[in-house]
Amino acid sequence: MGITFLKGHGTQNDFVLLPDPDATLDLTEERVRALCDRQRGLGADGVLRVVRTAALVTGEADVPGMVGSASDWFMDYRNADGSIAEMCGNGVRVFARYLVDAGLVDASEFVVGSRAGDKPVVVHADGSVTVSMGKAVVTGTSEATLAGSRYAGIAVDVGNPHLVTTLDTDIAELDLTRQPDVDPADFPHGVNVEFLNRLADDVLRMRVFERGVGETRSCGTGTVAAVAADLYAEGEDIGTRIVRIPGGEVTVRIQAGDATLTGPAVILAEGMLNDNWWSDPA
Ligand SMILES: N[C@@H](CCC[C@H](N)C(=O)O)C(=O)O
C-alpha cells in the first residue's frame, strides 16, 4: 500500500510531510532519523506529521498545545535527529501551504495547532505564507563558544529556545559544521544558536545552528528571535526587519504582543514510501 509523503521547504529549510489525519502512523525517532537522512532516506531538516487535532484529542491526549486548540489540523514537528521541538516557523508555513494545496482547508486564513499553541496563518496568492508566532520573549543573556571564540548573546523564547549573537566580523567565515558550546545551566533543553550581521538598520544576515539538526539554510523561529534580539539591543519594542539567510530572505514584523514571519513556502514533490522500508528503515 505504501505511506504517502510530500517534500517541501521554506527558504530551503526542508521537510518531509506525512499526512496522517487519523493519527495512526507510529512515527518513531528511528523512522524520523531515517527519513531525514540525506543518503539512506529522503533527506530533510525535519518531519511534519499532518494530523487532525480531533484525532489527537482522543489518541494522544498528552500532546502539549493541543488541549483547548481551535485548530482543525495539528503540526507534529520532529527534528532530523528524531527529537521533538515545540515550534517550527518555516515548518508551519509549509504545513499551511500543504493544507490549502491539498484542499484540506478551504480558506486563506486559518489556525494551525502546534506544541507551542495555535498559530494563525495567512496563505497569500503569491505563494508566500505569514504566520503569527505570538510574543518573542527576551529571557536573558548568555554566550556561545565556537572554535575557541566566545560570543555574547541574547536568549529569546519563541516557543522554542534561541541564543542570538551579533558579530562585527563576517558570519560567512564561521565554521558551523560543529555545534557551538553553550552553558547547559542556561539551556537545560538545548538551544538553537543564531549568528547575525547587521547589514543596515532594517536588514540582518543570519546563519543558524539548529538544535537537533545542525546548520540549516533557514530557521523561521530563529529569524524571529534574531529580530527580537536586534530590537532589544537597539532599545526598541516594535519594528520590521528583512532577514537574509543562506536559503533566501524573510520578513519579520514585531508588534506589541505578537511577531509575524512572512516568506515563501513550497511543496515540490509527492510520493509513496515503501512499506518494507517503513517497517525496517535500513
Ligand atoms: N527550523 C525551524 C525550527 C525547528 C526546531 C528547532 N530545531 C528546535 O529544536 O527548537 C524553524 O523554522 O523555526
Q: How far is CA 246 from the centre of its chain?
A: 15
> Do residue 112 and residue 204 come from a single domain?
no
Residue recorded with cell 528571535: 225
> Do residue 15 and residue 118 come from a single domain?
yes
> Do residue 156 and residue 222 come from a single domain?
yes
88 lines ligand 1 (CB under 6 A): yes
pLDDT attached to residue 62:
64
pLDDT attached to residue 213:
98
d(CA 275, CA 277): 5
> Do residue 103 and residue 162 come from a single domain?
no
| CATH value at residue 65 | 3.10.310.10
DSSP states of the chain: --EEEEEEEETTEEEEEEE-TTS-----HHHHHHHH-TTTS---SEEEEEEEHHHHHHH-TT-TTTTT---SEEEEEEETTS-B-S--HHHHHHHHHHHHHTTS---SEEEEE-TT--EEEEE-TTSEEEEEEE--EEEEEEEEEETTEEEEEEEEESSSEEEEEE-SS-GGG--TTSPPEE-TTT-TT--EEEEEEEEETTEEEEEEEETTTEEES--HHHHHHHHHHHHHHTT-S-EEEEEEETTEEEEEEEETTEEEEEEE-EEEEEEEE-HHHHHS--
> Do residue 209 and residue 110 come from a single domain?
no
**Ligand 1 atom at minimal distance to the Cα of residue 160:** 10
**Ligand 1 atom at minimal distance to the Cα of residue 216:** 1
**What confidence tens digit (pLDDT) does each residue in 58-113 have?**
766 667 777 788 999 999 999 999 999 999 999 999 999 999 999 999 999 999 99
> Do residue 117 and residue 142 come from a single domain?
no
pLDDT attached to residue 59:
66
**Ligand 1 atom at minimal distance to the Cα of residue 87:** 5
Question: Out of 88, 92, 164, 182, which one is annotated catalytic?
Answer: 88
What is the span of the domain harbouring residue 186?
137-256
Q: How many angstroms is it from 211 CA to the middle of ligand 1?
A: 7
Q: Which residues pair with 109 in a beta bridge?
A: 122
Going by pLDDT thresholds of 50, 70 and 90, the confidence category of residue 282 is confident
Report strand pairing: 119-123 vs 149-157: unpaired
> Do residue 39 and residue 126 come from a single domain?
yes
> Do residue 274 and residue 157 come from a single domain?
no
> Do residue 225 and residue 273 come from a single domain?
no
Which of residues 60 and 212 earns the better pLDDT score? 212
Q: How many angstroms is it from 162 CA to the middle of ligand 1?
A: 9
210 lines ligand 1 (CB under 6 A): yes
Mean pLDDT value across the chain: 96
pLDDT attached to residue 144:
98
For the chain, what is the domain count?
2
**What confidence tens digit (pLDDT) does each residue in 1-54 have?**
789 999 999 999 999 999 999 999 999 999 999 999 999 999 999 999 999 999
pLDDT attached to residue 64:
74
Mutate to test the pocket of ligand 1, among 45, 79, 191 (most ligand atoms within 8 A of CB): 79
pLDDT attached to residue 93:
98
Binding site for substrate: what residues are annotated? 13, 79, 89-90, 160, 192, 210-211, 220-221
ipTM for the complex?
Answer: 0.99
> Do residue 7 and residue 68 come from a single domain?
yes
> Do residue 80 and residue 11 come from a single domain?
yes
pLDDT attached to residue 61:
61
pLDDT attached to residue 1:
74
**What confidence tens digit (pLDDT) does each residue in 215-271 have?**
999 999 999 999 999 999 999 999 999 999 999 999 999 999 999 999 999 999 999
pLDDT attached to residue 91:
98
**Atom 3, ligand 1: residue with shortest CA distance:** 88
**What confidence tens digit (pLDDT) does each residue in 117-170 have?**
999 999 999 999 999 999 999 999 999 999 999 999 999 999 999 999 999 999
Amino acid symbol at 278? W
219 is annotated as an active-site residue: yes
> Do residue 252 and residue 270 come from a single domain?
no
Q: Are 11 and 249 in contact (CB under 8 A)?
A: yes
pTM across the whole model: 0.97
